[in-house]
Amino acid sequence: MGLTPQATKPGDERATFLPNYMASNLSFDASRTRLASRDFGGLTGAPPHGVLVPSSVHEIANLVRVAYEADAHFRVAAKGHAHSIQGQAQAPGGVVIEMEALKGCLFNVGVLENESCSFSSSYSVERESVERESGGSLYYADVWGGELWIDVLHETLKHGLAPRSWTDYLYLTVGGTLSNAGISGQAFNHGPQISNVYELDVVTGKGELLTCSKHQNSELFHSVLGGLGQFGIITRARIALEPAPQRVRWIRVLYSDFNTFTRDQEHLISLHGRTKFDYVEGFVIVDEGLINNWRSSFFSPRNPIKLQSIVSGSKGTVLYCLEVTKNYDEATADTVDQEVDSLLKTLSFIQGSVFTTDLPYIDFLDRVHKAELKLRAKGLWDVPHPWLNLFIPKSKIADFDAGVFKGILGKKTSGPILIYPMNKNRWDEKTSAVTPDEDVFYLVAFLRSALDNGEETQSLRYLQDQNERILRFCEEANIEMKQYLPHHTKRAQWVQHYGPKWAEFEERKATFDPKNILAPGQRIFSAAQPIILPSASSS
């Protein structure tokens, strides 16, 4: 396949087909390739032939160029923090690039000249808001593609700034989330992370290192954003920043009626200007234990919330929690209570179910990591994660509730179920990301953990079968959903996933990665097959 390693001593092999300065950073050690074959999902394992631990971006470009020019080319995948679920960052028999090896190599905060602004016209209102709050300046951060978002946050806060759009979990790499979309509760307002990027440096499937933006190599720019790694490896991103707030008012309220819950969510994401919440999410509660789920320590374990005391007399067994925040600092501290109360008065949640906490901005953004540490201490983090993330059109979300939340799930689940709406006009249609064809659509994320504890409803096989039932239900109910962080095994499924964008997607592949070298673990254009990992919890 083009890789011809030559052993120099036990456990230390080098590739003779690469220049000496780069071959020294390419390892064929079994322990390293085994580690590169695992990810957060824990469902598949496909070991690469080698692992590149780069010392510069040029080594990455040279590796891909060698693969492109070789008679028998090999495949290459960039691996960040390995948080993929189905082996998407794996390169069976090829080379995995450890992007985190160069963490900290690049960080710079600057001011963008207005005429170079990359926001699309649909963001004109938001741009004016950013300029006003920033004293007329548009700030950015240049960061390495393998940098973790938590480190980007720490560095930008030193300048009183922060990125505008986030993911719920910050121990993900910049290049990884930008290759998908990057979403959280801010997306209704600022759009996903891919809508908040000014410029990129990208290594294409030909081994070219190119700078791109909406004004320079624009086709590459839009291809890579949300492109699942198919068109290039992101080595630098210029990220939009805004003045960082100091504190966050964090509120949760409960609903027993789904239509009321979604109506209130949709109302909140329709608001503009300063009179709105800064973050809108929500989750589904099908059993009482999930009110204190692993995603946060919002409710004190010393004072657990007893759902029956709140919803006594309510119809149904499924509850819905709306989660919102309001950012503030010293200048707005005196008015935050009034603003929050004014917004809450427009909602129709269960009376007496308002739960509020107040914390530093950084602690809110890093909330999931605190729960991660608790799970790691209990040995419950490194378990299989058969996650399923779906974009559901607004017109079908009530059908989904009836068929899945009140039907397929039963009364037990094995992890949080997120649900929140987003505005399609905050997504740049020129990127490779796909969403339902409606003005408003919902993320529904089943973030479950498979446990080998004797409980059938928490076993890997049960949860995977349930995921398949959910997908079949969507098809039978004519719910034209899109998978987020998609996993498909057949070409026809990918064609259906991209819909009208498929022809363009194929053309972009032929332009930027004509030999199908990059990201084979996505299994879109190549036949790379993962190895299904054995698990006691699957029985």
Structure tokens at 502: 């498929």
Whole-angstrom CA distances from 518 to 97, 204, 476 are 11, 8, 34
Q: Tell me if 238 sits within 8 A of 211, measured CB to CB.
A: no
SS3 for 483? strand
Q: Tell me if 265 sits within 8 A of 325, measured CB to CB.
A: no
Strand-by-strand arrangement of the 319-328 sheet: 355-360, 247-255, 319-328, 279-285, 417-423, 440-446, 388-393, 482-483
Catalytic residue annotation:
83, 168, 281
SS3 for 140? strand
Q: Tell me if 393 sits within 8 A of 438, measured CB to CB.
A: yes
Instruction: Catalogue the E-assigned strands of 424-475.
Output: 440-446
**Count, residues in the chain:** 539
Instruction: Catalogue the E-assigned strands of 17-82.
Output: 26-27, 44-45, 50-52, 76-79
SS3 for 280? strand
Q: Integer distance in angstroms from the first to the last C-alpha of the chain?
A: 36
Q: Tell me if 276 sits within 8 A of 291, measured CB to CB.
A: no
Whole-angstrom CA distances from 81 to 26, 156, 494 are 19, 20, 25
- Tell me whether residue 492 is exposed, middle or buried, using C-beta atoms within 10 angstroms of its C-beta: 0 to 12, 13 to 18, 19 or more: exposed
Secondary structure (DSSP) of 118-171: ---GGGHHHHHHHHHHTTT-EEEEEEETT-BHHHHHHHHHTTTEEES---S---
Rounded CA-CA distance 398/489 in Å is 29
Q: Tell me if 117 sits within 8 A of 198, measured CB to CB.
A: yes
Q: Tell me if 184 sits within 8 A of 215, measured CB to CB.
A: no
User: What radius of gyration, in Å, describes the C-alpha atoms of the chain?
Assistant: 23
CA angle 21, 93, 42 (to 5 degrees): 110
